[in-house]
Amino acid sequence: MTDTQPIAESDWLAPAYSPGENAAASALVHIPGSKSLTNRYLLLAALADSPSLLRSPLHSRDSALMIAALRELGAVIEEVPGASPFGPDLRITPCDFSSDKPLTARIETGLAGTVMRFVPALAALLPGTFNVDGDEHAYARPMGALLDGLRQLGVSFSPADASCLPFEMVSAGLALQSADEPAHVRIDASASSQFVSALLLAAPRLPQGIVLEHVGSSVPSIPHIEMSVEALRELGVRVESTIDRQAGVFSWRVFPGAFAGFEKTIEPDLSNAGPFVAAAMVTGTSVSVADWPAPAADGSAGTTQVGDHWRQLLPLLGGEVSFESHSTDSSIGVLTVTGPADISAVPGIDVDVRAAGELAPTLAAICALAATGSQLRGIEHLRGHETDRLAALTAEINRLGGSAEETEDGIRILSSIPTGQAQRVLARTYADHRMATFAAIIGLRRANTVVENVATTSKTIPDFTGLWLALLDQLQHTSTTKDEA
């Protein structure tokens, strides 16, 4: 791509940012609701015994796909006025699990992992035939472990050996069956924690619940499973977990039990806060995120979001992280990240991020601008995400002027991406929202970085470019004001 070649309408020239010599620029950002929490509570609301209300939910492609799928299964979901600047609240009337009338439904999953994994497990509770399909890129995402688990519960598939999208599933309605003991299911969930979450979330409607055992190597992203478990417990469902990594034991038991509808306010998406706090890291500025869940205290669990790992990860690269409680609501506050004065002088890191794999593309962007090589380990499962993220990150770091290579379980960054003016380069995104935000972060320091198909960010961050430009506007304004003072 040459500097004079027109930029395609779907692509975006990422804005570069160069703070003044004495600029102490700062910005405050508000982040839309968590995709992981929104889609879990939408599904749980569809399983409840009475209507529920979700406050400040995410409105994005992933949540829209979940809503459409649940409507196909009989749930009624209505938009109602709310206080969020990012869209209305949602009232959910649950599915009817008492009906023995077979359904015929088509479920479109797009590229949303929570939809393609969670919804088939819920659909299996109902009698009917369900056609499940998604985007072309979704066909490469692993589904086999979930479908094996549903087969063990009595669900059939066409093709019979289906292990990925698209497929047709037929169920007699697991919620209508009788049983004397819990269902015993054994799956290999080493490719995705969502296989475990899908079965656990649907389990309260099984006649005697479920005993679920993982067989295989370690389960990735355990915090996402803990998020599912805590959501169930919050609604009164009894869940027992046995996790012993050294012994290789991963098992869960969910007891059957109806639960009433609920009201839930969705936290901001802390993973999607990543690009914004990364902006502080690579530009030496300060970025604050509003309504961040307060740190755990007095033995409380705190937030279950993986994005809360930013507190521990960013100081490894020279960032300063502070939290100030809200004046009237101690459960939330403002998290502020101040980046090092010069990211290119910060040594690289060698870190295992297995528990927070979805943060790896953003972390890789910071590392790719640091002084020396970094290694991110424990993330081999990222090969089965929206794209093969390890291959994608390696290719784009190399394309943008750095040097990186894949390892067996992660990525090694050998040399950093040069900053400043550079030849125009199209950073490919592979229809993956995390790769698009990765490129935007790099573009802050490497001028002439063009983000391919930036609209892919709408998967989880509506109007990402608008929020990004507003962030930079604030940084430039405070920088200019302080310089002039």
> Which residues 6+ apart lie within 8 Å of 132 measured at CB?
107, 109, 116, 119, 120, 165, 166, 167, 168, 169
Q: Where are the alpha helices (DSSP H) in 109-218?
A: 113-123, 144-152, 194-202
β 263-265/403-407 pair status: unpaired
Q: Do residues 107 and 132 lie in contact, with contact meaning Cβ atoms separated by under 8 Å?
A: yes
Alpha carbon distance 286, 24 (integer Å): 8
CA of residue 377 relative to chain centroid, distance = 19
Alpha carbon distance 360, 48 (integer Å): 35
Neighbour order of strands in the sheet with 167-172: 103-108, 127-133, 167-172, 156-158
Q: What is the DSSP letter of 14?
A: P
> Which residues 6+ apart lie within 8 Å of 17 measured at CB?
279, 283, 444, 445, 472, 475, 476
Helix or strand run (H / E) with residue 444: helix 433-445
List residues with catalytic annotation: 358
Long-range CB pairs of 134-138, under 8 A, 24+ apart, other chains included: 134/108, 134/109, 134/110, 134/165, 134/166, 135/109, 135/110, 135/111, 135/431, 137/111, 137/386, 137/387, 137/430, 137/431, 138/109, 138/110, 138/111, 138/165
AA letter at 87: G
Q: What is the DSSP letter of 118?
A: H
Residue in the structure block whose two tokens are 């530009």: 283
Nearest to 474 by CA among 267, 278, 279: 279
Neighbour order of strands in the sheet with 263-265: 76-80, 89-93, 52-55, 263-265
Measured between its terminal Cα atoms, the distance across the chain in Å is 41
Q: Where are the alpha helices (DSSP H) in 236-294?
A: 274-283
β 425-427/26-29 pair status: unpaired
